[in-house]
Structures are given as structure tokens and as C-alpha cells.
Amino acid sequence: MKILSIEDLEKIRESAKSALCLREVSNKVVAEKSCGLACGTKHLQILICGGTGCKASSSHLIADNLKKCINDAGIADKVDVITTGCFGFCEKGPIVKIIPDNTFYIQVTLEDVEEIVKEHIIAGKRIERLLYVDPKTEKSVSDSKHMDFYRKQKRIALRNCGFIDPENIEEYIARYGYSALADCLLKRKPADVIDIIKKSGLRGRGGGGFPTGVKWELTARQKADMKYVVCNADEGDPGAFMDRSIMEGDPHSIVEAMTICGYSIGASQGLVYIRAEYPLAVRRLQVAIKQAREYGFLGEHILGTNFGFDINIRYGAGAFVCGEETALIHSMEGKRGEPTLKPLFPAESGYKGKPTNVNNVETFANIPIIINKGAEWFASIGSEKSKGTKVFALAGKINNVGLIEVPMGTTLREVIYEIGGGIKDGKKFKAVQTGGPSGGCLTEKHLDTPIDFDNLIKVGSMMGSGGMIVMDEDDCMVSVARFYLDFTVGESCGKCTPCRIGNKRLLEILNKITQGNGTEKDIQTLQTLGKVIKDTALCGLGQTSPNPVLSTLDNFYDEYLEHVYDKKCRAKQCKSLLTYHINPELCIGCHLCAKKCPADAIVGTPRKPHTILPEKCIKCGMCMSHCKFKAISVC
């Protein structure tokens, strides 16, 4: 099928709207009572999360079983089972949502399927045990709009995730998909489109925060017989899954945005660079590209114009450094994934030496809605210098782990304690790492910091691509710094000496400190060497790699001193600094600890208190985990 005019697009949209009508209405109105066929409801929809996280918990099997139970009940003509992208509330997945009453079921299992069909779908009765229970009120909540996790969110980049079937182009069209492309091709000049993006204030969501419209304009100015649009989908931060979830839940928004960018800068070819470790995102992108070609949104003479554009996928092997745009381009060219010194910028000489515009997934996801709703609308959201919203992967020692999207300027306190639901098990908050391995660890004194590009840099961290990992009192900040540095050392391309050698020396010093062999001079060396690496490394990976070390030195200097002088780790995470001790008053001499000790470090006779030999103890904790009388402690 080929769409050749705006009228054809409108016809598709109108015919597809009926499929989304129930979802649109129920998204605005919360039903006090559940709806079922016995209540007179004529048609129901069951939405089930089909993101990677929920699929890992068998959501795809739940969907298959729902379809089977509905078929067996003879109501397949009245109930649709629809697989969507990520709902965001990953801590409580798999998630099943019933439309039109908007009932939000959490942690659904295969054993729950038959009950959902019989009790809710047919009889119209909500299943209380599958509802979310608000920890503050201890009351069940039937609708997501009444959950603190969703209340302060504003979903723009994630607008279609958890709402549409990502493999159905007509559902995307019904949500005004490809209308932004039509508006640009049929009503606006390329320069006008770039002007809208510039006025919106959109900045790159990949970490650098460079103004998107300016980047497009720089590429558009270049004279060349060929230009490229590249989507950077090489998301490699530990604990980050923002881009992956957008590609899994709304791949057509990326296809549409890249095509708009191609029109604006004069490019005819798009490339998505995605790590092969994302098989579901790859498959859904492939489906979206195929459907877009079939409907005439990719290829020659798009919407009857003279503009032609197509998209292909390039696979990465999971190298973190290839998130840097010049290293990414080299990787796509079949070369070693190493960055190069700028200038020249990719806008001047990128893929195959041609002008190339590179934006990440989340940046592209904002483009269609900016065109549809206007630059002023987008610029009205967020803070003065950071417009719009930001998607974060909220993880770590937090009650509500998941994918969130908040307006720029939202404070860390709001994210952690309101959306995130506070620290797990009532523990004390210690730090939050923003920006992944390139960011810094912020403390309680930073909780009221508004989250945007500039404020996070001021307090010693950065936005990054959107990873946000929360830590509690049981985390050792020296070990945290060592963990992130160990990651960046392993991911360094090795091209420049500050990163290749300097970071290894930093890691060696951190290992020395966590093993109880550090000195005060080592702490001073960490500070000096970290600053030198920041100033002299070739690319963003090396320049930001010391951030976790420097920020923990700034905010947790006393922990470094404890490791060096007292040879102690207050969080009891550094094994070499731990001492296991048996309390003779609690030990009854059952000998179980001695049997379980792999190093034969425990001695004693039956029915008499035992002793741990420090020189033989390997500090594995096996004895403490098996002691039934809590006679073994660690200090």
C-alpha cells in the first residue's frame, strides 16, 4: 500500500482511531467500578507489557494464555489482547491493564490468567490481590493515575510506550503518527523545520546536551552530494534502558523523526546504530522500517513529493566507547571503534567522509511531537536553559524501580522519594549516581537540586543519557567509585594515554585502598591524577571517567580516610577490611560453621565455643550465613 497524499493519511488515521478509542477515553476518565461483559460492556481490551523486562518474566506467555482462555470462552470477538511497549513500572511487572475501566494489575503470573478472564473480563469483578497497594495508605489502587510513581511524570518521549501496539503502524498513525512528517514535507521548507527545533530549545539527550536545532543547521549548511542521518542507539551505561524501551515501545517515532531530519538537512539515507544485545528492539525497528516502506513513508517520492529517504540498521558489538559519535561512525565504517579529535565535526565530515547528523534515540523521539504541538509548547516545559522532559532509568536501592519521564527542573528529592517511593527496607539514603559511569555521586545535601543539564554539572555530576542509581547506607562509596572506574577501564578504546594508562593507575590505587593497603598519599594522587585525566583525555569517555572518583572524594572523603587509617569499611563491603568474630556467649559449638568453611579457618571442639583463625579466613561469609544462632558477626 502506498500513501501518496495527505488525504490518504487522514483516511488511514480515521479508520485506525476506533482501535484506540477505548484507550483514549479511559486514559482521561477513571472508572470507579470495573467493567466486564456481564456489566454490559460491549468490547474490552487487555494491554500487556511486551518490553524486555516483562518478557523476561514471561509476559509473552501470559499474552498467549490470555488469548487461549478468551478463545475457549467464546468471547474472542469482544476482547482484544494487545502487546504494548514498557509501562515503566518495572518493579511491579509483568503488568496487565484492562480497558475501558483502566484497571492496573501488577506482578501477573501465568496462574492468574484464568482468574482474570473469568472474574474480570466476564464477570466484571476486580481482582484485589493483583492491584497495587500504596505503602503510605496501605490501600489498593486500581488505576495508575492514582499512583505516586506516575503522578509527577509527564510522558512526551514515552507518550506511546505502554499505549500502542509497537508493531502496528496504524495504531501509531491513529496517534497522529507521520502527521509531523506530512506537515514538514507538504507545508514547510527545510529551514523552517530547523527553526522550529531551534526555538523549541531541545538539547541532545545522549549526554552532551548540545542544541539539536543548531546541530541540524550545521549539517544543513554543508554542500555535498550525499548526507546521512544517524540514530545513536548504542546505550551502554550500567543500569540504563531508556533508549531500548523507546525503540521497543514506539519505533515508528524514531523512523518518522529521522525522516524529518533527513528532509531538513538534505540527507537521503538514515542509519540506526544499535547494539546487537538488544534483539527485541532490533526486531521492532525492523518491523517499523518494513511497514514504513510499505506505506510509503520511506523510499522514493514520500507523500507524493520529490523527497526520498530510507533507513538501514547497523549493529554494534556492545562497546561503550562507540556511544561517542566519532567512534560510532568509525565502527559503522568497519573500522576500529575509536574517537577522533574534533574538529572536524561529523556535521562537516562524518560517515564515509560525508556530512552526518548524529542524535540519540530519546532526542529523535521528541521531534514529531514538537512539530505537531509547536516549539512554544515544548519550550514552556522544563527549566530556563533545559527545555522539555528527561527520561531516566531509576534503579538501585529504591522501592519503585523503573522507567520515568519528568519535566526538566524536577528535583532529585521528588524523583527519589515521591516517584521512586523512597529507599528500600526503610534504610537511610546515602547517594545517587546520575549520568552513569561518566557522572558523579550526589548526597543528601544535593536532594533539592533541580535536574537539568547545567545544575547537575554545577554540583559535580552530569545528566548523561539518563541512568540514575540510588544507594543506601549499606553501600561503600570507595567501592562504588572502584566499580565504575573498573567499567570504564574495560571499555576504554586505548587510543589516548590519559585514558588508557591514567585510568588504570586510578583503578590500581582504588584496589589498593579497598584492600587495606592505601596511604594518604594515594588519596592525594587520586585527586591530582583524576583532574589531569579530565583535562587531557581525547574523548568524552576519558574526560568524564574520573567523575565518580572525584565526586566521592568531595562528598565522602571521611570514608577514604577510614579505609586508609582505620583499615575499616563502615558499609562492610570491602572484604579485605572485614574481620569475622564468633561470640563465645552465643556459640553452642554445633560445628556447622566449621563444616561449611572452605578454608578450614574455624577451630573448636563440639559443644564448646569455636574460634575463627584470622590468618586463614578468606572472608567469604559462609560461616555467618549458616550460623543458626547468630553467633558470628563482622566488623
For 472-520, write each residue's pLDDT tens digit. Answer: 999 999 999 999 999 999 999 999 999 999 999 999 999 999 999 999 9
Q: Is the peptide bond before 251 cis (omega within 30 degrees of 0)?
A: no
pLDDT at residue 318 in the model: 83
Integer distance in angstroms from the first to the last C-alpha of the chain? Answer: 70
Tell me how far apart the alpha carbons of residues 368 and 374 are, in angstroms, rounded to a whole number: 10
HEC letters along 239-277: CCCHHHHHHHHCHHHHHHHHHHHHHHHCCCEEEEEEECC
pLDDT (0 to 100) of residue 146: 87
* Per-residue model confidence (pLDDT) at position 620: 87
| Residue 343: count of CB within 10 angstroms of its CB | 8
Q: Are strands 44-49 and 79-84 parallel, antiparallel or unpaired?
A: parallel
Task: Return the H-helix or E-strand segment holding 396.
Answer: strand 389-396
Cα 214 to Cα 36, 194, 439: the distances in Å are 52, 8, 25
Closest CA to 507 of 521, 524, 487, 493: 487
C-alpha cell at 50: 511486551
Q: Give how far the C-alpha of residue 473 lies from the chain's centroid of Cα atoms, to the nearest Å.
A: 24
DSSP class of 121: I
Q: Which fold has domain 19-149?
A: Glutaredoxin (3.40.30)
Q: What pLDDT digit, counting tens, does each position of 162-206 carry?
A: 999 999 999 999 999 999 999 999 999 999 999 999 999 999 998
Q: Is it true that the peptide bond before 94 is cis, omega within 30 degrees of 0?
A: yes
Fold classification of 579-634 (topology level): Alpha-Beta Plaits (3.30.70)
**H or E, element range at 220:** helix 212-221
For the record, the C-alpha cell of 305 comes out as 513529493
Partners of 407 in beta bridges? 389
Neighbours of 608 (CB within 10 A): 12
CA distance 227 to 268: 7
| Identity at 465, one-letter amino acid code | S
Q: Which of 441, 386, 394 is nearest to 414 (CA)?
A: 394
Q: Would strands 103-105 and 96-99 be described as parallel, antiparallel, or unpaired?
A: antiparallel
Backbone angles phi, psi at 132, to 5 degrees: -70, 135
- Look at the block and give the residue holding cell 490468567: 113
Joined grid coordinates for residue 335? 573500522
CA dist., res. 170 & res. 193, Å (int): 25
- CATH 3.30.70.3040 at 477-566, yes or no: no
Please give the CATH topology (third level) of the domain spanning 389-472: Ubiquitin-like (UB roll) (3.10.20)
Task: Provide the residue ranges of all domains of the chain, joining segments of one domain with +.
Answer: 19-149, 176-379, 389-472, 477-566, 579-634
What is the predicted pLDDT for the residue at 3?
Answer: 61
Q: Is 230 in contact with 270 (CB distance < 8 Å)?
A: yes
Burial readout 310-342 (b: 16 or more C-beta within 10 A, e: otherwise): bbeebbbeebbbbbbbbbbbbbbeeeebbbbee
- What is the reported pLDDT for 614? 87
CATH T-level topology, domain 176-379: Rossmann fold (3.40.50)
What is the gyration radius of the CA atoms in the chain, in angstroms?
Answer: 27
189, amino acid identity: K
Strands 467-472 and 429-434: antiparallel
Provide the phi-psi class of 136: left if phi over 0, else alpha when psi is between -120 and 50, else beta: alpha
CA-closest candidate to residue 537, choices 581, 572, 492: 492
Residue 138 CB contacts under 8 Å (≥ 6 apart), including other chains: none
| Amino acid at site 90 | C
Instruction: Pick out the chain residues at pLDDT < 50.
Output: none
Q: Helices 6-28 & 179-187, crossing angle to 10 degrees?
A: 140
Report the alpha-carbon angle 434-440-445, nearest 5: 85
